[in-house]
Amino acid sequence: MARDKGVLRLTNPWPRFAWLAGAAIVGISLALGFLVLDRYQQNDPPLGLWGAICWGLGITADLGPAREAAPTLRTPSRIAWTSSTLGQIRAGDAQHGSFIALNCTACHGEGGMSQSTFIPTLTGMDPAVIFKQLDDYRSGKRPWGVMGAIAKALSIRDSADVAAYYAARPNGLAAIAHEGSLRGESRSKESDSARHLAFMGDEQRGIPPCTACHGPHGYKIGAPPLAGQHAAYIERQLAAFAQRLRQNDINEQMRTIAMQLTPSEMHALAAFYGAPESSRVANK
Amino acid sequence: MGFKFLQSFLTFFVVLPTLLTVYSICASLEIAGRHRGGRGLLGWIGALPWDEPMVLVAALSLVMLGGGGFGGIINMSYAMNSMIHNTSWVPAHFHLIFGGAVVIMYFAIAYEMWPQITGKLLRSKKLARRQLWLWFWGIMIVTIPWHITGLMGQPRRVAVFDYDDPLVARTGPLVIISVIGGMILLLSAILLIFILVRSHFGERTGEIPLRYALAVNPPAHVPSSLNGFALWNTILLVLMLVAYGYPIGQFALLKPHSVPAYDVTSHSDGGGAR
């Protein structure tokens, strides 16, 4: 069968056709790949012909090593909400936690009902919140001298125990109630700006409603209950997030939101969530 | 772009030999079916000797090649690939193509060649057909959910799966189904060995002459370029150099990028002190 000689020779019609077809395919795809398709950049104007060829070859102006060292990777928190973390929190022993909490009363008050407006109330606080904040203090992710020193003295188990203790205390913080919230009424008529932000957010500025994470409409782990917290404390934290003094929100959500708020909105929100001093005394 | 498009474009041409293969196998089967008395548009299909493992496998293999082939077109295309790149779609695709369409053909070849080599006939073709069906369904049950988890974004290489994580929790049931398919494959593989061993130590013996398929219309003349690999291997070598020479050579030219290593385990067992 193999009667024709020179299977690689171009005088032979079959190899000639095969080579020509191969060359045409390569030529077309090189032209498309280097001259046409790679001219169009996502966010930049189209490249010129020479620029496109260089770009396709991977030769760009920034080929050399960057002059500045890349900033070190900064993580907002060591805590990730993995099943093992949640398991550590669930294992918290409130009985043992009550002993540890004796160290907290000097500042956070009897049973976690803080008397100082700048120190948060812990009564009824979500245990995941206390656990995470203690770890953030411990690792310096939330820098605060006193709490950093105290948290370093506590083990992981101690954190979980004291979190369980405060979570179990009655008459403390809770998700704020809203008349229409459970019946799904339209809340678009909220006139008060703080109430509007809390229940509706502000689409224009990309601010989600506070209640989507802090309750009652939604619950995101790590978000503390706000109703009954000291107004001054809430306002201070919002300002700290906005100025990036506090950076331990895992997904940067509070920094993003707080940056969008005006000082008067922060004040109004803090007042909306914060309990008046009189009711606090009565509560105690 | 650049060389990536060239590679994508050249890869696209794999559909041509694949379609030629599908065409010639289907045509061969049709000719055989009509010789056996099959009539009408599809009558020849029923006339084929379906009790022969080889015929059954030709059909099953084509089905798997079809499914895997269409998935492969997604892999090779420049834009659609970005949807499934590095997801579990990719291993699902090549298991369907290789583990399915190719390996099942090895099994049929084993059933065909083993008796010819050893002179021991298969004791039960029925059991062999069952083994092949089992393999077919095993591959289907393994790869279909696997493709779906790929579309859901499951990466193809993962050190640890934590199905408590809401991000991956919904892929959990599909992975379980895949594992069940894997069990079926294991069962089928054990059955293959069992069939061959049992036939080997069986009573039935016989001489089967080795026969090659003959062309219905024998060619008068085949150009030697089309009847040997010399030309095509040379073209292949040149194409490989054009498509991969520079991109691979670049590794020698470029300053390596430092990729930071992320510790995925230390913070979650921060309770090590406990």
Mean pLDDT of A88-110: 92
Are residues A242 and A272 located together in one domain of the fold?
yes
From chain B, pick out residues whose CB is under 8 angstroms from the CB of A8. 230-231, 234
Could you tell me which of B91, B93, B85, B75 has the C-alpha nearest to residue B153? B85
- To the nearest whole percent, how much of chain B has pLDDT over 90? 54
Would you say residue A13 lies in a domain? no
Whether A125 maps to a domain, the answer reads yes
B238-269 core/surface letters (b: 16 or more CB in 10 A; e: else): ebeebbeebeeeeeeeeeeeeeeeeeeeebbe
Same domain, A262 and A195: yes
Spatial contact of B92 and B143, defined as CB atoms under 8 Å apart? yes
Interchain pair A56, B246: CB under 8 A? no
Q: Are A153 and A87 in contact (CB under 8 A)?
A: no
Q: Is residue A157 part of a domain?
A: yes
Residues of B with CB under 8 A from a CB of A: 1-6, 8-10, 13, 162, 164-165, 219, 221-228, 230-232, 234-235, 238-239, 242, 246, 250, 254-255, 260, 267-271, 273-274
User: How much is the ipTM here?
Assistant: 0.72
Domain final residue, candidates A122, A139, A171:
A171
Question: Among the three residues A142, A171, A200, which one is the final residue of a domain in this structure?
Answer: A171
Residue B118: phi, psi to the nearest 5?
A: -95, -15
Distance CA B240, CA A30 (A): 14
Paired tokens of A116: 């100082």
Question: A211 and A155 share a domain?
Answer: no
- Domain range spanning residue A283? 187-284
Closest-CA residue of chain A to B261: A73
Task: Please check whether residues A197 and A257 belong to one and the same domain.
Answer: yes
Mean pLDDT, range A23-36, rounded to an integer: 92
A202 domain residue, yes or no: yes
Query: CB-based burial of residue A174 (10 Å sphere; 0-12 exposed, 13-18 middle, 19+ buried)?
Result: middle
Inform me whether the pLDDT recorded for A196 exceeds 90: no
Q: Are A146 and A200 part of one and the same domain?
A: no
Q: What's A147's domain CATH number?
A: 1.10.760.10
| Nearest residue of A to residue B169, measured between CA atoms | A83
Say what the pLDDT of residue B273 is: 38
Say how far apart CA A226 and CA A236 lie, in whole Å.
Answer: 13
pLDDT at B19 over 70: yes
The answer to whether residue A1 scores a pLDDT higher than 50 is no
Range A74-91 average pLDDT: 91
According to DSSP, the residues that pair with A174 across neighbouring strands are: A227
Q: Which uninterrupted H or E stretch holds A42?
A: none
Q: In this structure, is residue A261 part of a structural domain?
A: yes
Q: Is residue A159 part of a domain?
A: yes
* Residue A181 in this model has a pLDDT that exceeds 80: no
**pLDDT tens by residue, A36-82:** 888 887 777 888 888 888 888 877 765 455 556 667 778 899 999 99
Is residue A195 domain-shared with residue A143, that is, in the same domain? no
CA distance A205 to A208: 9
Are the C-beta atoms of residues A44 and A100 closer than 8 Å to each other? no
**Cβ separation of A58 and B2 shorter than 8 Å?**
yes
**The last residue of a domain, from among A171, A204, A231:** A171
In angstroms, the CA B90 to CA B87 distance is 6
Do residues A152 and A196 share a domain?
Answer: no
Task: Report pLDDT for A89.
Answer: 93
CA distance B201 to B194: 11
Question: Could you tell me which of A143, A150, A152, A126 has the C-alpha nearest to residue A77?
Answer: A143
Instruction: State whether A284 and A191 are in the same domain.
Output: yes
What is the pLDDT at residue B56? 94
Would you call A37 and B234 a contact, using CB atoms and an 8 Å cutoff?
Answer: no
Is residue A11 domain-resident? no
Statement to judge: residues A217 and A144 lie in one domain: no
DSSP per-residue string spanning A146-185: HHHHHHHHS-HHHHHHHHHHHHH-SSS-BPPP-TTTTTT-
| Neighbour tally for A42: CB within 10 Å | 4
Residues A216 and A280 in one domain: yes
pTM: 0.57
Could you tell me the two tokens for A101? 């909490």
Does residue A154 sit in the same domain as residue A93?
yes
For Cα atoms A207, A213, A215, give the angle at the middle one, nearest 5 degrees.
Answer: 120
Please answer whether residues A96 and A159 qualify as being in contact, where contact means their C-beta atoms are separated by less than 8 angstroms: no
* Domain total in chain A: 2
Question: Using a CB-CB distance cutoff of 8 angstroms, which residues of chain A are in contact with residue B229?
Answer: none
pLDDT (0 to 100) of residue A91: 93
Q: What is the pLDDT of residues B108-148, one digit of tens each?
A: 999 998 888 888 888 888 999 999 999 999 999 999 999 99
